């Protein structure tokens, strides 16, 4: 009798071991991508790559003035008359300022992006809204500041009117000079608030959906 019980126990143990082994294989087969799906669910799949893109854009902003300077030197910029060298260097300094501001915007938004709470849901929507808002901020700063100073410098150096002509391609006006001193800052502000509006609109829809789900 005891031998029969021992035999049954050994069979049961063997059966359990086999069953556990099959379960483990099934779990691996069905769930080996679990880290990937978990990363999507908790938001790290979206947050980290987008934060890397933000850092890349920030780095490109810092690199842009150096590339412009290298191109200017390669094209013998310093062989031009003195007034053009002065104005060119002044405009390069303004471009550098805009690039530094844009760098700070991208890095600031990157740090905030990494602090988003994925447990609240709609993280991808929140990140997309953040991308739209940040892009608008950088674009608005660029148009507002560069447009203003390009218009200002073109008042004193006729050969720099092509700068405002390039910006005026985005506007229903012809070539602008004095008007650009007012127009470009306003346009930059409108760009920032418009992108922000669409960003908050997306967030508002997500908030309504979140409240409805509760």
Buried residues in 151-188 as b, exposed as e (16+ CB within 10 A): bbbbeeeeebbebbeebbeeeeeeebbeebbebbbebb
Both tokens of residue 206?
């997500």
Q: What's the predicted TM-score (pTM) here? A: 0.72
Spatial distance between the Cα atoms of 107 and 113, rounded to a whole number of angstroms: 10
Domain map (residue ranges) of the chain: 1-32, 43-213
3-state secondary structure of 104: helix
Q: Where do we find the tokens 């991308």?
A: 131
User: What integer pLDDT is reported at residue 189 of this predicted model?
Assistant: 94
How far apart are alpha carbons 197 and 128 in whole angstroms?
Answer: 13
pLDDT value, residue 139 = 93
For the CA atoms of the chain, what is the radius of gyration? 30
What are the C-alpha distances in Å from 197 to residues 106, 124, 132? 19, 18, 10
Check residue 171 and give its pLDDT: 47
- pLDDT the model gives residue 148: 86
Helix (H) or strand (E) holding 53: helix 44-74
Please answer whether residues 64 and 145 qualify as being in contact, where contact means their C-beta atoms are separated by less than 8 angstroms: no
| Beta-strand runs (E) in 28-147 | none
pLDDT score at 28: 56
pLDDT in tens, the chain (214 residues): 444 444 444 444 555 544 554 444 455 555 656 665 666 666 666 778 888 999 999 999 999 999 989 988 888 878 877 777 787 788 889 999 999 999 999 999 988 887 776 666 677 888 888 899 999 999 999 999 988 888 787 777 665 555 555 545 544 444 466 777 888 899 999 999 999 999 989 888 877 766 776 6
């Amino acid at each position: 009798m005891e031998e029969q019980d021992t035999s049954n126990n050994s069979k049961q143990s063997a059966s359990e071991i086999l069953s556990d082994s099959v379960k483990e294989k099934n779990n691996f087969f069905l769930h080996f991508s679990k880290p990937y799906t978990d990363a999507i669910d908790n938001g790290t799949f979206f947050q980290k790559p987008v934060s890397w893109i933000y850092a890349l854009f920030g780095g490109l902003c810092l690199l842009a003035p150096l590339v412009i300077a290298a191109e200017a030197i390669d094209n013998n910029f310093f062989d031009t008359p003195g007034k053009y060298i002065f104005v060119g260097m002044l405009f390069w300094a303004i471009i550098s300022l805009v690039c530094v501001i844009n760098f700070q915007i991208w890095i600031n938004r990157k740090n905030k992006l990494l602090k988003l709470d994925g447990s609240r849901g709609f993280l991808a929507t929140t990140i997309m809204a953040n991308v739209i808002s940040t892009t608008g901020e950088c674009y608005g700063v660029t148009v507002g500041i560069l447009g203003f100073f390009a218009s200002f410098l073109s008042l004193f150096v006729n050969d720099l009117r092509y700068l405002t002509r390039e910006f005026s391609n985005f506007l229903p006006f012809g070539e602008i000079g004095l008007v650009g001193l007012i127009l470009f800052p306003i346009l930059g502000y409108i760009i920032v608030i418009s992108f922000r509006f669409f960003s908050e609109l997306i967030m508002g829809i997500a908030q309504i959906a979140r409240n409805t789900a509760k």
